[in-house]
Amino acid sequence: MTTTTPGAALTPASKSLRTLSAGDTDSLRARTGRRLQHGGWFVAPFLVLFALFVLWPVLRGVYLSFTDANISGTGEHFIGIDNYREALNDPVVWESLGHSAYFTLLVVPCITVLAFLMAMLAHHIERAKWLWRLCFFAPFLLPSTVAANLWQWLFNPGTGMINYVFGIDTAWLTDKSYAMLAIVICTLWWTVGFSFLLYLAALQSIPDHLYEAARLDGANAWHRMVHITLPMLRNITGLVIALQILASLQVFDQAVVMQDFGTGPENSTRTFVQYTLEEGFTTYRVGYASAISIIFFVIIAAVALARMWLLRNREEGAR
């Protein structure tokens, strides 16, 4: 801003002013300097909890993944990379990873589109705005297990409402080709409200004058949506997709509850998280469970880092 100083006449006055204020801030710095040393105390309580319940488990997980530890927590032996070698050859690892990926692939696009459409609807209806927000968002306030039980009940053959209302006879929960779809439908209903709110907030933050200017230029509603609304929502769409990918890969609650804590017809709904917990808590192979958890952690981290990288690239591109 101040690279070019217009008029040398101003310089002496501004210089003297600057030295004066510099002296002031110096003494202020000296005085606050001592206080700044205490800064660490603000962070300390969080760091203690963070170290105990985030950092330590990660390090411990890495350590355990090289051992044959069981659930008792004593007497583990170092076995090198055997666990990792076994994991790569374990068909269930790949199968359950595939189920989580399949779930993600179905949920993410559906939720993004649905949330956008619902937000557009709630944003453009002029009356009773609170009502639409309430109806679309309410399911998100239910615990995952309650949502899952409810849809298990709706999908129930015979007594379930879904088959009755649509006049069909689908074995949603017991047929291999529908079991995951049922979980996806439950998840859409349950979680779309969150992304819906993000889109709604983003829509409300688009300045009106853009639309007014477009209207003056003769743009119709369709043009205004394609040339103003959609570009203005690009950031939020990236956020919604990223959050949904990360959350969907970690799917567990709905899947197990809808299948009564089983793995579904022909194991078709066994997700990756479920497999790690089975290994850890059912067969008590904590070392092996840690190894596949670390593999999963790497996948999640890769997705998160990929998003950061994309964001940075886009920022640089915009510059």
One-letter amino acid for residue 230 of the chain:
L
Q: Which is nearer to another protein, 19 or 37 (CB)?
A: 37
Residue 68 backbone phi and psi in degrees, to 5: -105, 35
From 93, 97, 115, 154, residue interacting with another protein (rule: CB under 8 A): 154
From 20, 89, 127, 317, residue interacting with another protein (rule: CB under 8 A): 127
From 49, 168, 216, 318, residue interacting with another protein (rule: CB under 8 A): 49
For position 150 contacting another protein by CB under 8 A, the verdict is: yes
From 118, 173, 180, 233, residue interacting with another protein (rule: CB under 8 A): 118
From 2, 22, 126, 209, residue interacting with another protein (rule: CB under 8 A): 126
From 144, 191, 229, 263, residue interacting with another protein (rule: CB under 8 A): 144
Q: Which is nearer to another protein, 7 or 73 (CB)?
A: 73
Q: From the CA atom positions of the chain, what is the Rg in Å? A: 28
Contact 257, 148 (CB under 8 A): yes
For position 314 contacting another protein by CB under 8 A, the verdict is: no
Residue range at the interface with another protein (CB under 8 A); choices 7-15, 172-180, 211-219, 293-301: 293-301
From 159, 217, 218, 319, residue interacting with another protein (rule: CB under 8 A): 159
For position 113 contacting another protein by CB under 8 A, the verdict is: no
CB of 293 to another protein, least distance (A): 5
CA distances from 259 to 94, 162, 177, 182 (A): 20, 17, 14, 10
Q: How many residues bind another protein (CB under 8 A)?
A: 98
Residues 227-246 that bind another protein (CB under 8 A): 235-236, 239, 242-243
Cα–Cα distance for residue pair 309/3, rounded to 1 Å = 32
Q: Which is nearer to another protein, 126 or 217 (CB)?
A: 126
For position 166 contacting another protein by CB under 8 A, the verdict is: no
From 10, 17, 54, 105, residue interacting with another protein (rule: CB under 8 A): 54
Cα–Cα distance for residue pair 251/265, rounded to 1 Å = 18
Alpha helices in 156-283 (DSSP H): 161-166, 176-204, 208-216, 221-224, 230-232, 234-249, 253-258, 272-277
Comparing C-alpha atoms, which of 218, 35, 195, 210 is closest to residue 115? 195
37 token code pair: 């040393």
From 26, 281, 283, 309, residue interacting with another protein (rule: CB under 8 A): 281
Cα–Cα distance for residue pair 158/249, rounded to 1 Å = 32
Strand partners, 67: 78
Residues 175-234 that bind another protein (CB under 8 A): 189, 194, 197-198, 200-202
Q: Interhelix angle for 91-124 vs 234-249, to 10°?
A: 140
Local structure of 313: helix, strand or coil: helix
Contact 255, 274 (CB under 8 A): yes
Residues 56-95 that bind another protein (CB under 8 A): 56-58, 60-61, 64, 69, 71, 73
